[in-house]
Structure 1
Amino acid sequence: MAGPVAPAAPAAPWKRHIVRQLRQRDRTQKALFLELVPAYNRLLEKAEVLAQFSEKLQPELNNVTPTTHQGPWEEASEPDLDQVSSLATLRMKWQEEEERLRLVCGEMAYQVVVKRAALEALESELEERQSSLAAHGARVAQLEETRVQLAGQVGERLVLNAAQRTAYDTLRAHAVLHEAALRRLEEEAHHLLKQLVQVKARAAAQCNLRIERRERAKQVQVSQELKKAAKKTVNISESPDTLGSVVRHGAETPALVAELVYLESEACEKKWKRPFRSASATSLTLSRCVDVVKGLLDFKKRRGHSIGGVPEPRYQSIPVCVVARLPTQAQDVLDVHLSEVNAVHFGPNSNLLATGGADRFIHLWTIVGGRLEASQTLEGAGGSITSVDFDPSGSQVLAATYNKAAQLWKVGEAQSKETLSGHSDKVTAAKFKLTRHQAVTGSRDRTVKEWDLGRAYCSRTINVLSYCNDVVCGDHVIISGHNDQKIRFWDSRGPHCTQVIPVQGRVTSLNLSHDQLHLLSCSRDDTLKVIDLRVSNIRQVFRADGFKCGSDWTKAVFSPDRSYALAGSSDGTLYIWDVDTGKLESSLRGPHCTAVNAVAWCYSGSHVVSVDQGRKAVLWH
């Protein structure tokens, strides 16, 4: 006999899971066949009973069958015939019952097959749902773990946010205190600056008064000495040498000059021993002395004696054209750039022309014999050129670019001399001011900046509500045109906007007449407007059938004599209006096949140049 069986090791979890699955399957299948199996057993029992009954009836039928063929004497056996008929009836009933039971068995068998197929389908569905349930359980566990982690992170973030909020409140309180202190300091600085300016002004006034008195005294003394010198006889041949030696040796005072003239006249009188005075010699010597004295006085003025210092020198004025000639035909057509040409401007000598385009180059051209000839290419721009301008001396070129800066070139040098960086968006306009080493730029970052070109330093930033498309500069005013359909005026000596003139449409360009009395604006409502700056009112509005402003940087200009206004249309046509009458003077069609971006009229009034979006520049005469 075998020994005692060792206790079995605990079953693995997967085995227990399989046992549970089998038991569940057994219960499910057993419930389906609980009614079917007993019915089937009852049918089998009935079939066996009927089979036994049929087996008993079969020999009896065989024994009764021969008696049916006896002779006419069969009358005595009537009870046997009744028995045979009852047996036949029973047999028929048995056959019918057997047939019915066979049909019932077939139906039961069909139901068993159907139930088995349904059971298999349910089992497969059960397995799928159990696997899905297991996957969802794993997903739920994973999500629960993630939820716990996120809840921990939320708690940490709440603690961190509370700490940061506390720090923010502290910093805000400090900032408020510092702002209050800054405002107090600014007010004190403004007050001190105002006092300093007043003190300087009083000191300058007193110093100027003393200088004026001293100069008046010197002039009185010089006039007296000149009168004395005019009474003496002067040797004409020797006086120029003597007077020239005085000037060469740096005689700076008119009193010394008069004394030398007096001594020279005495020497001449002794030499010639003439008892009379020569009128011609005296007048000649007097005029020469006056010239020398004036030169010395001018030299002293140039050296400067004012406590305020010498004011910043201005450029010499550009000659203004008296009568401009209307262009009638195209003289020269060139592809001046590799892509779209955005800007064109004439130099003050009317022969030098600058063009700037999207290819980041500035080309300088000269007009020779009615043709444009390439002179120089200025390189180093960081982006597309949007505006070009010459200084009044014609020695420097300033350009606005799309790389958030303006750049300065010296004519004759290919590389950029200075870069004026400080804007945060595209620079759309860059213009020289009338004083030396100063410029103004406008940008789409909604600012206008003034620059000290000597140090490449932004001396002032003007914040505007809309981005700037163009700027122009007068003596003490900066005018800017903006995308919000307004023209703003800024005093270069003050911090605030002095005037705003609304126009219909976004301003694309501004042009100031040479006398600084009229302003020409071009806007996207397809009109040009002339503004009289003396009354700050729109004087003329120019329209024309077919004229369309092609872009936000379309430029329009006055003629040099301010008699005409010129602009290019989106269809390549140039339109010229009479400023005084407001009528369309002429329209020029021809070489341009795309929108004209900019036009320029030379200072002599003899040539016009237009550039378009198709790389062309056209010289009109």
Structure 2
Amino acid sequence: MAGPGARWKRHIVRQLRQRDRTQKALFLELVPAYNCLLEKAELLARISEKLQPKPNDVTPATLQGPWEEESGPDSDLVPSSSTLRVKWQEEEEGLRLVCGEMAYQVVAKSAALGALESTLEQRQSTLAALQARVAELREEQARQTRQVDAQRALNVAQRAAYEALRGRARLQEAALRRLEEEARDLLERLVQRKARAAAERNLRNERYEKAKQARMSLELKAAAQRTVSISESPNTIGDGIREEGKTLALMAEPVSPKSEAGEKWLRTFSFKKRRGRSIGGASEQRYQSIPVCVAAQPPSQVLDVLDAHLSEVNAVCFGPNSSLLATGGADRLIHLWNVVGGRLEANQTLEGAGGSITSVDFDPSGSQVLAATYNQAAQLWKVGEAQSKETLSGHTDKVTAAKFKLTRHQAVTGSRDRTVKEWDLGRAYCSRTISVLSYCNDVVCGDHVIISGHNDQKIRFWDSRVPCCTQVIPVQGRVTSLNLSHDQLHLLSCSRDDTLKIIDLRVSNIRQVFRADGFRCGSDWTKAVFSPDRSYALAGSWDGALYIWDVDTGKLEGSLRGPHCTAVNAVAWCYSGSHVHSGSRGLWAGGSRTPGLGPLSSTCRAGQSQSDLSAVHI
């Protein structure tokens, strides 16, 4: 079917042809009329020549014969030659005028015809160009049509592939749901079997204890009813009575584990501690218990100030023996320091981190250091070795926290990729990935619980034996740090609303909220810690001051100012309760910033007077 372009072109051609026919018809009528006039003019000219009298043909009146006189009555009917000549001359003038007009019209029409012919030629050339353009456009249309057909065919093929992929995905999702259901069923059956096995074991133990008690009662009755032979010596009788009395006293009185008898009792009935309500029946290797300070005093004097890193200090952590300190900064280095007499002495530098250090943690044995870095991984060092031992990779964004669990060879990491991962350090393998709806800023670990603080102002609790979140506690402000007390009954959180909160984990409720005039949380990774005996809470402010609150009264115990000039990023309180360590970005000395000094770390002695405040630059 012809398009709109072809229709308007045919219309233009028809108009041109119609105008040509109309103008040609006018000229066709004009030319024969002009030729007829010319023929008539020639005929009149010949007639006028014939009618003109010759000189010898003129005869005077006197020469007229009698025949001329006789024709007198009819002379009025025949005009005279002079009259005819005048008439013919008038007609000739009129014909000449008409011929002139006709000739002028012919010239004008010829000029108009020439203009129309030139216009026709221009329009014909324009029409030819338009026809060529139409041909090009038709070719382009055909090419575009072929491309559209090819694209449609490709779309059809891709749609078919997409539908096939969707079908496979649906099948795989169905298989996954089926496997998950089977796994849940197996898990439930395993838990039920473990529960039955535990109940049977408890029943056997009870029966064994009852039988043992019955046997012991029978032995005591038999011993009481036994007659003593008079042939035995008095010393032998007394020794037997004393041994029986010791045995009865040991069974009747509670035994203290610290006493000699208690140690013997524990050695006799010791057994490996198993995980309560554990799915697997394998025993769990645990670290030795960490010594806890009985009574801590708030820090009051700065003992040592030094330029620890080339850039800001993001993390500090004491070892379990309180004599080794680790600091990590944005310079991708971890420095180990010996705490000797209230001063820091360089011990070792751990290298090989792929990014800025955001978190540092010692394992409870003090032989390994775990650090979270900005290169989407956590790295493990062995104390005494400068290079990294293992790299725990699997996150897709910055790792903000890395902590050891109480069980051996296990750790937990949190990241800005909205995941929390559990790791088997023996195989450097991620054993579990927990997906969260918000960035994770810090994590802490209990016996079987993982607690994570997030950017969406929520603290989430995860059980290692349950796949989903067990509890969510909302707080006002982004959570910057979490710290768990040594008895695992209280949790300290720091958030960007410039408050510290103590959460009682026994009732899962916020017990206390700490605020202070001048205290402001300086960054999204500002750390706050408990004292070892959970008597005090310590945090650094944006202005470089350390704020200490009394947990029992909820009041501000005091603030320590002087060495730091910018926001304090991290603080650590040693397990013995004798020292506090803090790290920040820079140093004020003598009321003004000292040029050339970078991020610092300071050590404070607990229980000394405020008047002894001093700063020693190294």
> TM-score, with normalisation over the residues of structure 2?
0.64
1:324–1:207 Cα change, 3 Å: closer
1:618 aligns with 2:602: yes
Q: For residue 398 of structure 1, what is the amino acid of its counterpart? A: L
1:474 corresponding residue in structure 2? 446
| In structure 1, C-alpha distance between the alignment counterparts of 2:437 and 2:331, rounded to whole Å | 31
1:181 corresponding residue in structure 2? 175
1:139–1:377 Cα change, 3 Å: farther
CA deviation map 1:199-240 (0-9, x unaligned) = 3433454355446646765787789889999999xxxxxxxx
| RMSD, aligned α-carbons | 3.9
CA deviation map 1:266-299 (0-9, x unaligned) = xxxxxxx9655525654787779x9999979956
1:313 Cα shift? 3.3
- Pick from 232, 236, 239 the counterpart of residue 278 of structure 1: 236
1:357 aligns with 2:329: yes
1:368 corresponding residue in structure 2? 340
1:162 corresponding residue in structure 2? 156
- Pick from 460, 466, 469 the counterpart of residue 494 of structure 1: 466
Q: Which moved more, 1:167-176 or 1:439-448?
A: 167-176
Q: For residue 494 of structure 1, what is the amino acid of its counterpart? A: V
1:48 corresponding residue in structure 2? none
CA deviation map 1:569-617 (0-9, x unaligned) = 2221212222233332222221212221101111122111110123210
Q: For residue 592 of structure 1, what is the amino acid of its counterpart? A: H
| In structure 1, C-alpha distance between the alignment counterparts of 2:214 and 2:352, rounded to whole Å | 60
Give 3-state SS (helix, strand or coil) of 1:328's partner: strand
| In structure 2, C-alpha distance between the alignment counterparts of 1:583 and 1:525, rounded to whole Å | 18
1:535 aligns with 2:529: no
Q: For residue 236 of structure 2, what is the amino acid of its counterpart? A: S
1:305–1:592 Cα change, 3 Å: closer
1:155–1:573 Cα change, 3 Å: same
**Aligned runs of 1:94-243 on 2, under 5 Å?**
151-207=145-201, 209-210=203-204, 213=207
| In structure 1, C-alpha distance between the alignment counterparts of 2:542 and 2:479, rounded to whole Å | 16
> TM-score, with normalisation over the residues of structure 1?
0.64
| In structure 2, C-alpha distance between the alignment counterparts of 1:140 and 1:402, rounded to whole Å | 64
| In structure 2, C-alpha distance between the alignment counterparts of 1:202 and 1:504, rounded to whole Å | 45
1:146–1:542 Cα change, 3 Å: farther
2:301 corresponding residue in structure 1? 329
**Aligned runs of 1:451-530 on 2, under 5 Å?**
451-530=423-502
2:363 corresponding residue in structure 1? 391
- Pick from 301, 304, 317 the counterpart of residue 345 of structure 1: 317
Q: Which moved more, 1:318-327 or 1:465-474?
A: 318-327
How many residues get paired?
449
1:478 Cα shift? 1.5
| In structure 2, C-alpha distance between the alignment counterparts of 1:139 and 1:566, rounded to whole Å | 84
Give 3-state SS (helix, strand or coil) of 1:178's partner: helix
CA deviation map 1:101-152 (0-9, x unaligned) = xxxxxxxxxxxxxxxxxxxxxxxxxxxxxxxxx9xx9999999987765554
CA deviation map 1:145-176 (0-9, x unaligned) = 87765554333222111111022123312322
Structure 2 unpaired stretches of 5+: 1-128, 251-259, 587-598, 606-618
Give 3-state SS (helix, strand or coil) of 1:329's partner: strand
2:559 corresponding residue in structure 1? 587
Q: Contact conserved, 1:304 with 1:310, CA < 8 A, in 2?
A: no
Q: For residue 520 of structure 1, what is the amino acid of its counterpart? A: L
Q: For residue 165 of structure 1, what is the amino acid of its counterpart? A: R
1:202–1:504 Cα change, 3 Å: closer
Q: Which has the higher contact order (CA 8 A, sep 6+)?
A: 2
1:356–1:308 Cα change, 3 Å: closer
Q: Contact conserved, 1:401 with 1:427, CA < 8 A, in 2?
A: yes
1:186 Cα shift? 2.5
Q: Contact conserved, 1:204 with 1:308, CA < 8 A, in 2?
A: no
Q: Contact conserved, 1:230 with 1:282, CA < 8 A, in 2?
A: no
In terms of fraction of residues, the more helix-rich structure is: 1
Q: Contact conserved, 2:440 with 2:455, CA < 8 A, in 1?
A: yes
1:566 Cα shift? 1.3
- Pick from 534, 537, 545 the counterpart of residue 517 of structure 2: 545
1:309 Cα shift? 4.7
Give 3-state SS (helix, strand or coil) of 1:176's partner: helix
1:556 corresponding residue in structure 2? 528
1:441 aligns with 2:399: no
Give 3-state SS (helix, strand or coil) of 1:551's partner: coil
2:89 corresponding residue in structure 1? none
| In structure 1, C-alpha distance between the alignment counterparts of 2:455 and 2:270, rounded to whole Å | 48
1:381 Cα shift? 1.6
| In structure 1, C-alpha distance between the alignment counterparts of 2:224 and 2:409, rounded to whole Å | 48
Q: Contact conserved, 2:521 with 2:541, CA < 8 A, in 1?
A: yes
Q: For residue 161 of structure 1, what is the amino acid of its counterpart? A: N
| In structure 1, C-alpha distance between the alignment counterparts of 2:564 and 2:138, rounded to whole Å | 72
